[in-house]
Amino acid sequence: MASSSGLLSKPLFWLPLVLALGTALAAPLFGSSPSPLQTTALALLLTGTVVLSGYLFVVIFQPERF
């Protein structure tokens, strides 16, 4: 328990993973963009917004942690 939660509590470990996964999943939504760079950027932006929203939910329910 301690080791796994220890790893999960390190944002540097899971944040890039989540962002990369989200970007990959969201990329098809922006397939019509002219460049692959823009597709990736928009997908990353969408994922980032969702993650940010998730972070805010954590703050709302566990404000003591911040």
Partner 1 sequence: MTTLQPPIFPRMPRGRRDQRRYTERPKSDGLLGRAVVQSFVKLDPRLTVRNPVMFVVWCGTLVTLAATVEPRLFELSPEAPGRGFNALLSLILLATLLFANFAEALAEGRGKAQADALRRTQASTQARRLLPDGSESLVDSSALRRGDQVRVSQGEMVPADGEVVDGVAAVDESAITGESAPVLKEAGSDVASSVTGGTRVVSDELLIRITADPGKGFIDRMIALVEGAERTKTPNEIALTVLLAVLTQVFLIAVATLPPVAAYIGSPTPVVVLVALLVALIPTTIGGLLSAIGIAGMDRVAQFNVIATSGRAVEACGDITTLVLDKTGTITLGNRLAEEFLPVGGHSERELATTAHAASWFDNTPEGKSIVRLAEKLDAVTTLPMDTATGLEFSARTRMSGTDLADGNELRKGAVEAIKGFVRSRGGTVPADLDGAYERVSRLGGTPLAVCLNAEIHGVIYLKDIIKPGMRERFDQLRRMGIRSVMLTGDNAITAGVIAREAGVDDFIAEATPEDKIAVIQAEQRLGRLVAMTGDGTNDAPALAQANVGVAMNSGTQAAKEAANMVDLDSDPTKLIDIVTIGKQLLITRGALTTFSIANDVAKYFAILPALFGKAGLAPLNLMGLASPQSAILSAMVFNALIIPALVPLALKGVAFRPATADQLLRRNLLVYGLGGLVVPFIGIKLIDLAVSALRLV
Partner 2 sequence: MTDWFQVVIFVALVWAAAPVLGKHLFQVFGDQPQPRFDRWLTPVENGLLRFIGERGRPADQAWDYLRPLLLSNLLFGLVALAFLLFQPPWLNAQGLPAMRWDTALHTAISFLTNTDQQHYTPEQSLSDLSQLGALQFLFFTSAATGLAVGFAFIRGLCGRPLGNFNTDLIRGITRVLIPLSFLFALVLLVNGAPMTLAGPVTLRTLEGADQILVRGPVAGFEAIKQLGENGGGFFGANSAHPFENPNPFTNLLAMVAMFAIPAATIDAFGRFLGNRRQATLLLLLVTVLFLTLAAVAIKAEQGGNPLLAAWLSGPNLEGKEVRFGAGITALFATITTGSMTGAVNGSMDSLLPLGGLVPLFNLFLQVIFGGQGTGVAYLLVFLILTVFLTGLMVGRTPELFGRKVEKGEIVWSSLILLIHPLFVLVPAAITLAYAPALSGISNPGSHGISQVVYEYASASANNGSGFEGLGDGSLWWNLSTIVSLLGGRYLPIAALLLLAAGFARKTKVPPGPGTLATDTGLFTVVTGVVILILGALTFFPVLALGPIAEAFSLVGAP
In sequence order, the 6+-apart residues with CB closer than 8 A to the CB of 51 are 15, 18, 19, 22
Interface residue with partner 2 among 4, 34, 63, 65 (CB under 8 A) is 63
**Residues 5, 21 contacting (CB under 8 angstroms):** no
What binding mask, one character per residue, do residues 6-45 give for partner 2 by CB under 8 A, x or -? Answer: ----------------------------------------
With 0-12 / 13-18 / 19 or more C-beta atoms within 10 angstroms meaning exposed / middle / buried, residue 47 is: buried
Q: Which is nearer to partner 2, 31 or 63 (CB)?
A: 63
Residues near partner 1 (CB under 8 A) are 33-34, 37-38, 41-42, 45, 48-49, 52-53, 55-57, 59-60, 63-64, 66
